[in-house]
Amino acid sequence: MLRRSSSVAHAVLLFAAVALPLAAAQPWPVCGTSGTYTAGSTYETNLDNLAFSLSTNASSSPTLFASGTVGSAPNTVYGLLLCRGDVNPSDCADCGTLVVQDVAQVCNRTKDKILVYNQCYAQFSDKRDFLAATNNSGVYSLLISGTNITSTDVAGYDRAVTELLNATVRYAVENSTRLFATGQRVGTDPGFSKIYSMAQCSPDLSPGQCRSCLDGLVGRWWDTFPLNGRGARVAGPRCYLRSELGSFYTGSPMVRLPNNSGSKILVIILPTVSVAIIIAVISLCIWNVRKKTRLAKEEYLSENDATEDFESVKSTLLSLASLQVATDNFHESKKIGEGGFGAVYKGILNGQEVAVKRMTKGSNQGLEELKNELVLVAKLHHRNLVRLVGFCLDEGERLLIYEYMPNKSLDTFLFEQRRQLDWAIRFKIIEGIARGLQYLHEDSQKKIVHRDMKASNILLDADMNPKIGDFGLARLFGQDQTRDVTSRIAGTFGYMSPEYVLRGQYSTKSDVFSFGILVIEIVMGRRRNNGPELNDEDILSIVWRHWEEGAIAEMIDHSLGRNYSETEVVKCVNIGLLCVQQNPVDRPTMADVMILLNSDITCTLPALAPRPAYLIDGTSGYSQTVWRHWEEGTVTEIIDHSLGRNYLEAEVVKCVKIGLLCVQQNPIERPTMADVMVLHNSETTCSLPAPAPRPTYLSMEALVTPKP
């Protein structure tokens, strides 16, 4: 009664007046020819386990869909299970149970097999092609109702079916999160007064992929099925299309095409309860977004932006099955890196090398960063920015897929393989980073502050061209917005600007500061604050000292030898120091940086401001002030004036001393909190240990008082 084919060939499913109900013939299997397995074999065990897993996962999934893989070669089994979009989870579970029962019984242990039921579709194979495909390529199922229509207007019937199928497809793609729709057409011809339809895609497809798959089925419908057949369906792993003269789905049709004096009017039917639920959900979402925006403005996009962002990224949605195939089910051998939020895998997707960033499953860590990165990177298109290929949010997974960068990140070459980075490549990298940042700040659709510029976030392609990646902490700015303030300091110490570290202020000039650090690191071949001891001299201090002494050549990466352009090196050092000036106003824009990089001589560069206060052991800043008064024995001069003289001097001195003990540079010298309680409850300050000398890190605290 059924035929498997990817061609026009088909068989007829006959119904007589006394025939059993359609369910009695289930399942309708389609058996492949790729090979067989033996009873009790590892393959059969894997097949049974996968069928059970898919049944459980599909019935518990909001999309009633599951795909997966069990076992390793040569006994790997790939499979998927999709329940009809109008059934409830209980019916889906029942159909899944039938799959579990039948999977080993049908097809005489053929490895490739399709099981078609009225309420679900399952497919298994030892090959993964059908999971990675975006259409019903290869083997799929064709079912045909064997009787013919009674009407003589076959052409009119064919037009009516085609119109209904197209309308149903359009609704499934444009209005359903499940990529599912049912339809009905009411006509005047008694031979086909009512036609019913259904369209569905596996929800791991994007709407565009679903539309392409279903449109292909509609386009070949009458080449595949009899022109006067009462009903037919195509059941495949990626999309499913059906039409009948009798109702076969539950509930009211989502699409209704009435025959009103020949006019074609599309009516969308939504049950009252569904409307109420949708309105309630939308209202709740709007309220929630507004509340969060009010409480933490810098952490969220505006509601209009969020809608626009979703529209811009939904076409890049990829299936989990395709990514499992691309990465050999995230095999350890495919792992190329690991970070704070998860691992990165190399894969092959549609013949293209990709990097799959997989967030730790079941953890909320990094969720905001993923959403932020997704909506931002989808908008960005520049040769010096890493390109987003797609994303996947199936079955609890959170995956971002990028173009693969074969030379990994800049820090690998800069700090581990320095001899492979000659000066020409370094200068090209500096220019490329500057070009990418200029695009983010000035040339993209919206002004974007990256907030985490560092060597490990600069990726290198096969030709050593730099591309900025990791936009998890990036923020959108309005066109007239110059800065923002956050209470959540996030980024990488050493690259963060002083005003951001101390006051939470960030702007495009924060990225400029980070770029300046990168330039210095590229020239010196050393990571900032990466010496063997905590009190090693900061590389910025080293650069400033050599700059002031006119001895730049002494601090250039020794691996370069003398193989560099001294003019370019001096220019880059000058630009780097301009970028790390204390006052953000004194730092150049990235457009300025590009002009400076392309200038022929260094004398056109603006003069540097004096060495920033944060690189000097000065006396400004409250921590410096406290230490100075402690050393001078004048602690009472720094006490809050609003207290007047209404305090116990011994307690104040004790608290100041405890505070200074707690902020000592060497962690070993700081007390535990148990020690603090003992000290706090002691009656005299003389029993407290003396603080070590003033910490050298207090040179940073001078930044609390900004440059006038």
- Is 509 flagged in the annotation as binding? no
Q: Between the CA atoms of 695, 698, 699 and 704, what dihedral angle is there, to the nearest 10 degrees?
A: -170
| Alpha carbons 117 and 93: distance in angstroms, whole number | 13
| Alpha carbons 26 and 342: distance in angstroms, whole number | 44
Q: How many Cβ atoms from other residues are within 10 Å of residue 608's Cβ? A: 16
Q: How many Cβ atoms from other residues are within 10 Å of residue 515's Cβ? A: 26
Of the chain, the end-to-end C-alpha distance in Å amounts to 87
Q: For residue 282, give both structure tokens.
A: 């939308």
CA-based nearest residue to 663, from 634, 705, 697: 697
463 is catalytic: no
Contacts of 491 by beta carbon, 8 Å cutoff, 6+ apart: 451, 452, 473, 500
> Which residues face 80 on adjacent strands?
67, 123
Contact, 98 vs 116, CB < 8 A?
no
**Amino acid in position 181:** A
- Does 691 sit behind a cis peptide bond, omega within 30 degrees of 0 on the bond before it? no
Task: List the catalytic residue out of 86, 91, 394, 452.
Answer: 452
DSSP letter for each residue of 196-234: EEEEEE-TTS-HHHHHHHHHHHHHTHHHHS-TTBS-EEE
Q: Which residues of 197-215 are buried (b: 16+ CB within 10 A; e: fewer)?
A: bbbbbbbbbbbebbbbbbb
Contact, 215 vs 169, CB < 8 A?
yes
Residue stretches of the annotated binding site: 357
Residue stretches of the annotated binding site for ATP: 357
Which positions are annotated as active-site residues? 452
